[in-house]
Amino acid sequence: MTSRTVKDDSYEAVMQRRNEILADALGLDYSRFADGPLAFDYEGMMQETGYSLDEVRSIQRETGVGDTPLLELRNVTRLVRQLAPAGKGARIFIKDEAANPSGSFKARRAALSVYQAEKQGYEGVIAATSGNYGAAVASQACMRGLKCIIVQELFDSRMVGQPEIMEKGRKCEAYGAEVVQLTVGPELFYVNLKLLEDTGFFNASLYTPYGIAGIETLGYELAEQVRKRCGRAPDMVVVTHAGGGNVTGTARGLRKAGCAGTRVVGASVDLSGLHMASDEDFNRKSFTTGHTGFGVPFATWPDRADVPRNAARALRYLDRYVLVEQGEVFYITEVLAALEGLERGPAGNTSLAAAVSLAQELDEDQVLVVQETEYTGAGKHPTAQLTFARENGVEVRRGDPDENEPGECIVIPETPGQIKAREFSLDRMRRSLIRNAVQQSGMEEVGQREVSFLCEETSQDRDFVLKVLEELDVPVIS
């Protein structure tokens, strides 16, 4: 009788097979770019996609992705100028990414990932996401005739699910995807790995070079449209910051379009004090993405992702990082609908809330672009979100948004003049990235290659990096 080897599917065993599973599920050998335990060739990894920007645009157009309209918010701009000092108040535009097939900019990253999966002969694709990316992957897989599985964190231990995530799950199912819904916790990554191994499907992760290259077209296209409309490059582009892919891809596209002077500002909802992996906190947050629970950890240690090396590395590109409060985003969502006739979801409106404040710093002849909108639906609407907050013991009231307390109280402004962008220190985040990079690599001393890599990672000079390493008592060898 022939004995049969039984595969060990325990959590520990699957985690030990992580790199092997991910390599098989992507067809990309990340070890080729490694330069020791800390540094790696980032640009070499990005070039490994093998597609030029024009080729990516052509691939996206095959499935109706991209070429979305740039809309001027004339009434919102007029409101901002009433609040701003004389001569201030930039023209505000939004890139209406809700016009993409799945209703968000993430169709751009999904289009290239699913195309690559088809090209390499995979039967299907898998993505672990509770956000708009799931619908984007499901939509693109449907168009290209591939199977699709989306893995979501949806429930707390009471099996209570968030309305926004349930909305996105319904959208994935409408496109024919199988949706695997989990409770919050470490099982998300385990289940994702197991499914990749068992099915042999393509890992359509948010954080591959394909996913980021797909967003580059957004930054490039935005620059083209602003130049055509305004005769100049945008002065500021505000990007909702979560896992870092939106910032990274948009900024890279802007650079490829020659927008060297355009300031890239990240904006997140302040959910300080709420832990994203906490069962208790999970349903006390009213935003499933675009908040500090993703924005800060992923910026300061990108490689916590479901790929060996994350292609989304926000601190290479951010010029500034600001926070807005939950109530301000709900308020500006209604302002956009009431003043401009555009009802859009909360993710892009996070940047728009920040833009209302930031535009008041710029001159009237300058141009500020909010680089995305997203579709809205029953689960994304402020009514559903605020009702859910109340059901979970969160107070909702009007007043001063500075009194907002994540998980306890959502304060909706009484006037637009109360909206403000609050600075979050990039230097603090850069220091955290350097500390995390050294700790995670296990290096007790670093060489010149590591110093140069950390300069690239933080977009800072050698003096800054060397000073932080000295503060951390990490020797630098020649």
**pLDDT score for 277:** 82
Neighbours of 200 (CB within 10 A): 12
Identify the pLDDT of residue 98: 98
Token output for 174: 């409408």
State which H helix or E strand residue 369 sits in: strand 367-370
CA neighbours closer than 13 Å in the CB half-sphere of residue 181:
19
Query: Looking at residue 1, what is its pLDDT?
Result: 46
Determine the 3-state secondary structure of 149 from DSSP.
strand
Task: Give the distance from CA 234 to its chain's centroid.
Answer: 21
* Sequence-separated (6 or more) residues with CB below 8 Å from residue 284: 274, 389, 392, 393, 394, 406, 407, 408
Q: Report the pLDDT value the prediction gives residue 288, as an integer from 0 to 100.
A: 84
Asked if residue 114 lies in contact with residue 141, where contact means CB atoms within 8 angstroms, the answer is yes
Write the CA distances from 130 to 115, 201, 343, integer angstroms. 22, 19, 22
Collapsing DSSP states into helix, strand and coil, what is residue 118? helix
pLDDT by residue, tens only, the chain of 478 residues = 444 567 899 999 999 999 899 989 998 999 999 999 999 999 999 999 999 999 999 999 999 999 999 999 999 999 999 999 999 999 999 999 999 999 999 999 999 999 999 999 999 999 999 989 999 999 999 999 999 999 999 999 999 999 999 999 999 999 999 999 999 988 889 999 999 999 999 999 999 999 999 999 999 999 999 999 999 999 999 999 999 999 999 999 999 999 999 999 999 999 999 988 888 999 999 888 899 999 999 999 999 888 999 999 999 999 999 999 999 999 999 999 999 999 999 999 999 999 999 999 999 999 999 999 999 988 899 999 999 999 999 999 999 999 999 999 999 999 999 999 999 999 999 999 999 999 999 999 999 999 999 999 999 999 999 999 999 999 999 8
Exposure string of 403-435, with b = 16+ CB inside 10 Å and e = fewer, is: ebebbebbbbbeebebbbbeebebeebbbbbbb
Q: Which residue has the tokens 């967003």?
A: 215
Q: How far apart are the first and last CA of the chain?
A: 61
- pLDDT score of 5: 61
Distance in angstroms (rounded) separating the CA atoms of residues 251 and 94: 16
The first and second tokens of residue 32, run together, are 């080729």
| Residue 200 · residue 122 · CB < 8 Å | yes
- HSE-up of 450 (CA within 13 Å, CB side)? 23
| CA separation for the pair 115, 131 (Å, rounded) | 21
Determine if the pTM surpasses 0.75. Answer: yes
Euclidean distance between CA atoms 370 and 284, whole angstroms: 27
By the 8 A CB rule, do 90 and 364 touch?
yes
> Residue 335 belongs to what H/E stretch?
helix 326-340
CA 302 to chain centre: 12
Distance CA 224, CA 221 (A): 5
Q: In this predicted structure, what is the pLDDT of residue 276?
A: 81
β-bridge partners, 181: 152
For residues 387 and 356, give the distance between their C-alpha atoms in angstroms, rounded to a whole number: 26
What is the C-alpha radius of gyration for the chain, rounded to an integer number of angstroms? 22
